[in-house]
Amino acid sequence: MKPSSPAQGPAEVDVVVVGAGIAGLYALHKFRSRGLTVRVLEAGDGVGGVWYWNRYPGARCDVESVDYSYSFDEALQQEWDWSEKYAAQPEILAYLEHVADRFDLRRDIEFGTRVTDVVLDEQTLRWQVDTDTGRALTARFVVLATGPLSNANTPAIEGLDTFAGRVLHTSHWPHDGVDLTGERVGVIGTGSSGIQAIPCLAEQAQRLHVFQRTANYSVPAGNTLLTEQDRRAQKADYARRRQLSMASGGGSPHQAHPEPALAVSEQERRAAYEKRWALGGVLFSKTFPDQLTDPAANDTARLFWEEKVRAVIDDPRVADLLVPGDHPIGTKRICTDTNYYQTYNRDNVELVDLKTTPIARIDAEGVHTTAAHYPIDTLVLATGFDAMTGSVARMNIVGRDSRTLNEAWHEGPKTYLGLGMTGFPNLFNLTGPGSPSVLANMVLHSELHVDWVAEAIGFLETRAAVALEARADAVAAWVDECAARAAGTLMTQANSWYLGANIAGRPRVFMPFVGGFGVYGQIIAEVAAAQYKGFDVIEA
Ligand code: N01
């Protein structure tokens, strides 16, 4: 047990929020402004969540800075100056620290405090929250703001624990940075984190071995510095941008082409793809509205992508390895890079194809594949996350009849609207499974969820009711609806972490709500307007 946190507040509060990332910070501000007593429990020693932990070189957001920022306070929007179109990790963390200071949030956050247990007292309908510091709180409401990508996945590779060099995980990069000058570096993993880190690591390392099991689609970030003129124009346009974002499929103001990919001429299609390519990054997968539902439409995007990427890779055999052949483009999150493919033209970089020569084991000196031994000084694990449910599953959450959330989610996460679970009254999960989650802009999504929960708490107060609890039939219907919507797309065709496919033993369930951020916002607003239909409103 760790020593008790110095920030000791009341043992009884209205709301405990777990996590001081983007959602947790806004939750604290919102609930406190509603007159509720709130404590935020945060495992890290600072605010920021993913942006606190993921400090690997090259870490950068793939949503434009102007959109990946809070909308709840006009003065905040106007005073903060983003320096780049797509902000890098240090700038996003500085922004979140600024928000914490500006709204005086830190006094209600207990850092270095990891929640271990969240247990319902069925008599009082209060939750007891225990932590690894020994600190315990009780609360009427518990809001899980743990984030869908916060529980690191460390692969079970034989001998990893015998490696004598340095092992780093991209999601827990040392805060003081790492000097890899002159080192032999190995990277395992070529998802978004690996693809952003690899070009930076290649510049430092004497030799870089990239161990690739599955190739990914990456689109250049198209990042640029913002001028004062850009910033002025963006700030003047906030109202329109936010409105479009809230109604959009993914939480940003860019609209897909009005017609399906195959309904337009080849010339028009190319022009649309060129425009998205220049915009940069993940939105390439939403150039046309049918790109993720019609295989033929998807193919047009894939071929455009392949032509662009092959053009910048010198060795066609290396290009063959870097072009994915196992999933439609966009069915895993498209990665966003700066000079990723060009990095393989460097003399000090080697791509190791684990499909044909898998890792057999790791020893003290390096990595053995079935074909060769690679001596390594620093091994970088860019192996991702136990996503969507991993951080929630780490806590022992016990609801009615002593049933744990892990038991309730044994066959995959079961929620109503992503927010509520049967047997867990007044426990709300933010931006997790059953909501658009990682398919949307997480800042606006966090605001949407927090505002909804705040309204729900207000509703209970006006009714002098004590709790809101998702009904089993509503959960079942929502799970079916999410599954049916996913089945109508190509998204289930990839072995992605959206499906839990990267973690052994996880049921294969497409976890995010794929129907679009705007549509989802309408659905949850309608539920609220209909007196929280699908929830039991429990009277005192
Ligand atoms: O993780 P990933 P990530 N042996 O799961 C490989 C967000 N994000 O941290 O595909 C060998 O995508 C694995 O291989 P395979 C974004 O939403 C955003 O990169 O399982 N390889 C894969 O290549 C993103 O999607 C940003 O065959 C192993 C890699 O590790 C999400 O976070 C930046 C292995 C993991 O890729 C996760 O991205 C960073 C093994 N035993 C992250 N185990 C931006 O905003 C795993 N792998 C741009």
Please tell me the distance between residue 446's alpha carbon and the centre of ligand 1 in angstroms.
Answer: 23
Please tell me the distance between residue 153's alpha carbon and the centre of ligand 1 in angstroms.
Answer: 9
Phi-psi sector, 521: left (phi>0), alpha (psi -120 to 50), beta: alpha
Residue 428 forms beta bridges with which residues?
143
Please tell me the distance between residue 448's alpha carbon and the centre of ligand 1 in angstroms.
Answer: 27
In the structure, which protein residues have their CB atom closer than 6 angstroms to any atom of ligand 1? 61-62, 149, 155, 157, 170, 188-194, 196, 211, 213-214, 333, 336, 354, 359, 382-385, 438, 497, 502
Pairing of strands 535-539, 166-169: unpaired
From the number of C-beta atoms within 10 Å of its C-beta (0-12, 13-18, 19+), residue 214 rates as middle
What is the distance between the alpha carbons of residues 88 and 62, in angstroms, rounded to a whole number? Answer: 9
pLDDT value of position 363:
98
Looking at ligand 1, which residue's alpha carbon is closest to its atom 3?
384
What is the distance between the alpha carbons of residues 109 and 114, in angstroms, rounded to a whole number? Answer: 12
- Kindly give the number of the ligand 1 atom that is closest to the alpha carbon of 281: 48
Please tell me the distance between residue 216's alpha carbon and the centre of ligand 1 in angstroms.
Answer: 9
What is the distance between the alpha carbons of residues 60 and 170, in angstroms, rounded to a whole number? Answer: 13
Looking at ligand 1, which residue's alpha carbon is closest to its atom 18?
192
Q: What are phi and psi of 109, to 5 degrees?
A: -115, 130
Show pLDDT as tens, one digit a residue, over the chain (540 residues): 444 444 555 599 999 999 999 999 999 999 999 999 999 999 999 999 999 999 999 999 999 999 999 999 999 999 999 999 999 999 999 999 999 999 999 999 999 999 999 999 999 999 999 999 999 999 999 999 999 999 999 999 999 999 999 999 999 999 999 999 999 999 999 999 999 999 999 999 999 999 999 999 999 999 999 999 999 999 999 999 999 999 999 999 999 999 999 999 999 999 999 999 999 988 999 999 999 999 999 999 999 999 999 999 999 999 999 999 999 999 999 999 999 999 999 999 999 999 999 999 999 999 999 999 999 999 999 999 999 999 999 999 999 999 999 999 999 999 999 999 999 999 999 999 999 999 999 999 999 999 999 999 999 999 999 999 999 999 999 999 999 999 999 999 999 999 999 999 899 999 999 999 999 999 999 999 999 999 999 998
Q: What are phi and psi of 44, to 5 degrees?
A: -75, 175
CA atoms within 13 A on the CB side of 66: 25
pLDDT value of position 56:
98
Helix (H) or strand (E) holding 40: strand 38-41
Pairing of strands 109-110, 115-121: unpaired
Looking at ligand 1, which residue's alpha carbon is closest to its atom 5?
384
Contact 478, 419 (CB under 8 A): no
Q: What is the four-CA torsion angle of 147, 151, 392, 215, rounded to 10 degrees?
A: 80
Please tell me the distance between residue 511's alpha carbon and the centre of ligand 1 in angstroms.
Answer: 17
Looking at ligand 1, which residue's alpha carbon is closest to its atom 12?
191
In the block, tokens 């590779």 appear at 157
Residue type at 507 in one-letter notation: P
- Kindly give the number of the ligand 1 atom that is closest to the alpha carbon of 170: 9
Contact 282, 332 (CB under 8 A): no
Q: Residue count of the chain, please give it.
A: 540
Contact 133, 1 (CB under 8 A): yes
Please tell me the distance between residue 384's alpha carbon and the centre of ligand 1 in angstroms.
Answer: 4
Please tell me the distance between residue 177's alpha carbon and the centre of ligand 1 in angstroms.
Answer: 21
DSSP state of 371: S
Local structure of 3: helix, strand or coil: coil
Residue type at 369 in one-letter notation: T
Pairing of strands 184-188, 207-212: parallel
Looking at ligand 1, which residue's alpha carbon is closest to its atom 46?
383
pLDDT value of position 540:
82
Instruction: Write out the two tokens for 459.
Output: 């509703």
Residue 430 forms beta bridges with which residues?
none
Residues 6+ apart with CB under 8 A from 432: 144, 148, 388, 389, 392, 413, 415, 418, 511
Residues 6+ apart with CB under 8 A from 518: 246, 247, 248, 249
Looking at ligand 1, which residue's alpha carbon is closest to its atom 6?
189
Residues 6+ apart with CB under 8 A from 403: 423
Domain spans in the chain, listed from the N-terminal domain onward: 12-151+387-539, 192-217+257-290+293-381
Radius of gyration of the chain from its Cα atoms, rounded to whole angstroms: 23
Contact 329, 490 (CB under 8 A): no
Residues 6+ apart with CB under 8 A from 455: 528
DSSP state of 333: P
Alpha-carbon distance values, 207 to 214, 378, 411 (Å): 21, 11, 44
Q: Provide the strand spans (E) within 307-410.
A: 335-337, 349-353, 359-362, 366-369, 373-375, 378-381, 396-398
Local structure of 39: helix, strand or coil: strand
What is the distance between the alpha carbons of residues 212 and 309, in angstroms, rounded to a whole number? Answer: 17
Residue 469 forms beta bridges with which residues?
536
pTM of the complete model: 0.97
- Kindly give the number of the ligand 1 atom that is closest to the alpha carbon of 497: 5
Q: Provide the strand spans (E) within 391-498.
A: 396-398, 427-429, 465-470
Contact 426, 125 (CB under 8 A): yes
What is the distance between the alpha carbons of residues 244 and 523, in angstroms, rounded to a whole number? Answer: 17
Instruction: Write out the two tokens for 90.
Output: 């240090």
- Kindly give the number of the ligand 1 atom that is closest to the alpha carbon of 192: 19
Could you tell which of 502, 503, 511 is best to mutate to test the pocket of ligand 1, judged by most ligand atoms within 8 Å of the CB? 502
pLDDT value of position 525:
98
- Kindly give the number of the ligand 1 atom that is closest to the alpha carbon of 354: 11
pLDDT value of position 6:
44
What is the distance between the alpha carbons of residues 191 and 168, in angstroms, rounded to a whole number? Answer: 16
> 12-151+387-539, which class in CATH?
alpha beta
What is the distance between the alpha carbons of residues 527 and 529, in angstroms, rounded to a whole number? Answer: 5
pLDDT value of position 3:
41
pLDDT value of position 93:
98
From the number of C-beta atoms within 10 Å of its C-beta (0-12, 13-18, 19+), residue 364 rates as exposed
Looking at ligand 1, which residue's alpha carbon is closest to its atom 45?
61
Please tell me the distance between residue 72's alpha carbon and the centre of ligand 1 in angstroms.
Answer: 32
Exposure b/e, 21-40, CB count within 10 A at least 16 = b? bbbbbbbbbbbbeeebbbbb
Instruction: Write out the two tokens for 516.
Output: 């679009």
Instruction: Write out the two tokens for 141.
Output: 């409401």
